[in-house]
Structure 1
Amino acid sequence: MKKRLWPIMIGLFVLVLAACGKTGNEVEEVKEDDLPKSIDAELEVQETANVGEAVPFKVTVTQGDEKVADADEVEFEIWEEENKEDSEMIKSKNNKDGTYEAEKSFDTDGVYIVQVHVTARGLHTMPKKTVTVGEGTADEEGDHDHGEHAEHSEHDQHDGDDHGEHQHAEGFSMHFMEPKNIEAGKKIELMAHLELENKPMEAARVRFEIWNDGSDKHEFVDAKESQAGEYTGHYEFKESGKYKVQVHVENDEGLHEHEEHEIEVK
């Protein structure tokens, strides 16, 4: 009797193993389908404009085939070429159809950079374009060597001095999410989004350097990459006052960038 049961038991065991293998494959397929699609932002800016003319900016935000009408934040950052430290942020108008708009008039001739910062559904992207106003710059040919200038300026400066004069390498973009309503004694999140060649910059080494305005004591916070191109760290400000936060970025290809910001703690 026992000899007759053995073939049946072995058969049942094989069927159970086959069922388990099939279930595992099905789980993997579900996980693959559940991966979030990237956010795309198509920025529209006219290439030339007259001094004093209202220049419209428009961005269309999509996720796959879906228009994103519920973005958390869409802001346009504008600065004159080689002068990013004096950039201006302009909030957009949400048209509720996946498009976001703003406009600005320029008072002087020059070449200006327009970069849109889009945060939506836990993702971030920040494409940029150029607009030439009036006659542009006096020497536009000399303005194209951004990468070389940035490389030299990094070595010619001493950390802590003249940070505002540093120019980013060509193709590199940084957006520091400036925290609001900071209170002394409460830990906050510091966040920076990085892009290289219009793609999220991954596997970078990012540190936040923090010091009280006028103080020689500097503290450093190592950031972690929470998702592609997004780096976060946490810090508690002990006292109220004005602080400097400088974001340092390096990678294995020799890139070394930094950007300084000022924040106020209540």
Structure 2
Amino acid sequence: MKRIIWTILAVFVMTLLAACGNSGSSNDTEQESGNEEEEIKALEVDFEVPETAEVGETVQLKASVTYGDEKVKDAEEMEFEYWEKGNEDDSTMVQSTNNEDGTYTAEVTFDHDGVYEMYAHTTARGMHTMPEKSITVGDGASGEEENSSGSEGHNHGNHHAEGFGMHFDKPDSIKAEEKTDLTVHLQLDDNPFEDADVRYEIWKDGSENHEYVDAEETKAGEYYAGHTFAEAGSYKMIIHVENDEGLHEHKEVQLEVTE
């Protein structure tokens, strides 16, 4: 009789342990599935810009921001940047209005004919994206102007491959002997450009001593490095971007360092 009781107890314990194991496995599967769902979410920006406009006309720029199926109503950054084609160094930044429904808008006007390009800089949920659009104002640019602008952009090292975008977060102020954050965002065809080799080449105006600082990819498409400028003055910096597929892009920026 005792043997039967012990046998029943042993079977019961084994059944209980098996049930717990299956439950744990099920929970693990559910957790993995949840992680997979989290991983496939992406920050998406639907950037709406009219194809054409007249000189002096008020133009609305609109960005609808989503993260998966969620409307992003609290983006950390949402601003528009525009410039005349071939003259990206002379760009204008415009803060957007948060409509608190996942959309962000701004109004701009253009004072002369031309083709203008623009980014919708968006940072949210730890990611950054900057979809690009263009608009033709008035009669647009003549062939001669386009050729001239394209040549100038190339001479300054700011002519990029089709679909490639580069945005440098220019510091509001830089002080000598203090660490400065240098961050650049890269994208290709509106997607973060990952696994690139990014290096900052820095030198003071008039100096032959160039410093090279390697940047680290801290987020998808975001590359960071810290640098301390030894003394005040005007500096130039070239951002070099390369990858294993043979891409080589670069952009030059001017930096002012104060005491």
Please name the residue that 2:58 is paired with: 54
Alignment of 1:127-206 (within 5 A): 127-139=131-143, 153=154, 162=155, 164=156, 166-206=158-198
Judged with a 3 Å threshold, the aligned counterparts in structure 2 of structure 1 residues 83 and 22 are, in CA distance, closer, same or farther, namely same
Task: Assess if the C-alpha contact under 8 Å between 1:172 and 1:195 holds in 2.
Answer: yes
SS of 1:167's equivalent in the other structure is coil
Please name the residue that 2:115 is paired with: 111
**Counterpart amino acid of residue 172 in structure 2:** K
* Farther-moved stretch of structure 1 (255-264 vs 180-189): 180-189
Report the Cα distance in structure 2 between the residues aligned to 1:234 and 1:202, rounded to whole angstroms: 20
The count of aligned residue pairs is 249
Q: 1:81 aligns with which of 71, 77, 85?
A: 85
Judged with a 3 Å threshold, the aligned counterparts in structure 2 of structure 1 residues 11 and 93 are, in CA distance, closer, same or farther, namely closer
Alignment of 1:95-106 (within 5 A): 95-106=99-110
Report the Cα distance in structure 1 between the residues aligned to 2:215 and 2:186, rounded to whole angstroms: 12
Q: CA deviation at 1:85?
A: 2.0
| Higher Rg of the two aligned structures | 2
Instruction: Indicate yes or no: 2:211 matched with 1:211.
Output: no
Judged with a 3 Å threshold, the aligned counterparts in structure 2 of structure 1 residues 18 and 106 are, in CA distance, closer, same or farther, namely closer
Report the Cα distance in structure 2 between the residues aligned to 1:210 and 1:166, rounded to whole angstroms: 16
* Farther-moved stretch of structure 1 (166-175 vs 22-31): 22-31
Task: Assess if the C-alpha contact under 8 Å between 1:78 and 1:112 holds in 2.
Answer: yes
CA root-mean-square deviation:
3.0
Q: CA deviation at 1:265?
A: 2.6
Task: Assess if the C-alpha contact under 8 Å between 1:177 and 1:192 holds in 2.
Answer: yes
TM-score by length of structure 2 reads: 0.82
- Which residues of structure 1 form unaligned runs of 5+? 154-161
SS of 1:84's equivalent in the other structure is coil
Please name the residue that 1:41 is paired with: 45
TM-score by length of structure 1 reads: 0.80
Please name the residue that 2:124 is paired with: 120
Report the Cα distance in structure 1 between the residues aligned to 2:135 and 2:110, rounded to whole angstroms: 10
Q: CA deviation at 1:132?
A: 0.8
CA-to-aligned-CA distance 1:34-89 (integer Å, 9 cap, x gap): 44732111111111111122222111111122221211111211111222222222
Please name the residue that 1:235 is paired with: 227
Q: CA deviation at 1:228?
A: 1.6
**Counterpart amino acid of residue 223 in structure 2:** Y
Task: Assess if the C-alpha contact under 8 Å between 2:158 and 2:252 holds in 1.
Answer: no
Q: CA deviation at 1:195?
A: 0.8
CA-to-aligned-CA distance 1:129-174 (integer Å, 9 cap, x gap): 111111112129x77xx8xx89xx5xxxxxxxx5x25411111100
Runs of 4+ residues deviating >6 angstroms: none
**Counterpart amino acid of residue 203 in structure 1:** D
